[in-house]
Structure 1
């Protein structure tokens, strides 16, 4: 996935103007494609650059964790290494970050080098035990 795969039309078509949580599912390359450490190492470089960009747009990292196993559902194609939940105050804030020159030129190369696959699912709160936003 690259910025070229960003579903701007789908995001802009959401009938939602409030906070949004992006559910990130990642599978890493064993070695970073640029040869600089592991896929995880490249992802850490990506994360160090993107977290300040998220915060500058009013967002925050809510939760991250290591994926262990598929508990229900098809196992094939669902082997993930890592998950992250990222809060943004609006869909526009997410689009602004993802389409910025800084993201595309500084951050995305590290993500591409580290991630064999990266899926982001836009989610809108239906219920939460936690107060977000």
Structure 2
């Protein structure tokens, strides 16, 4: 497994069977590193491959959207282009996907080609009006 920056130690400290919502914050390269379109184009290729992998593990996309402006904080320190909330039925399901050979060889290259920065925060639910489905 060579997914750069995957915090295995931090994720393994969580209850492996607990549901988790991953908050994804992404900033795209103006041009994909492989030269095939924009960073956004590379990210769309990544999404087309990963969404079926997420669903196969019982997860789902809850919400995605464009980042418009920093409402609270230092704007230049927190510049993101896109956000996604992704539900997984367990931390173990997320880890299994991220460490799979299929993810590493087919998906991650598109993510790296498209994203100048990609931060994922593991969360547990304190309150939600949304139910995965």
TM range (shorter): over 0.9
Where does residue 90 of structure 2 map in the other structure? 90
- Equivalence for 2:27: 27
Aligned to 1:54: 54
- Count of residues in Structure 1 that have an aligned counterpart in Structure 2: 132
Question: In the alignment, which residue of structure 1 is the partner of 2:14?
Answer: 14
Q: Secondary structure at the match of 2:10?
A: helix
C-alpha distance in 2 between matches for 1:16 and 1:72: 33
| Corresponding position of 2:110 | 110
Alignment pair present for 1:65 and 2:65? yes
| Unaligned 5+ runs, structure 1 | none
Change (3 A) 1:95 1:86: same
* Worse-matched range after superposition: 93-102 or 9-18: 9-18
Residue 18 of structure 1 and its aligned partner are, at CA, apart by 1.9
TM-score (norm 2): 0.95
CA 107–16 in structure 1, closer or farther in 2 if over 3 Å, else same: closer
RMSD, aligned α-carbons:
1.3
Structure 2: tracts of 5 or more residues without a match: none
TM-score by length of 1: 0.95
Structure 1 moving runs of 4+ over 3 Å: none
Quote the Cα distance in structure 2 between the aligned partners of 1:132 and 1:109: 28
Shift of 1:15: 4.3
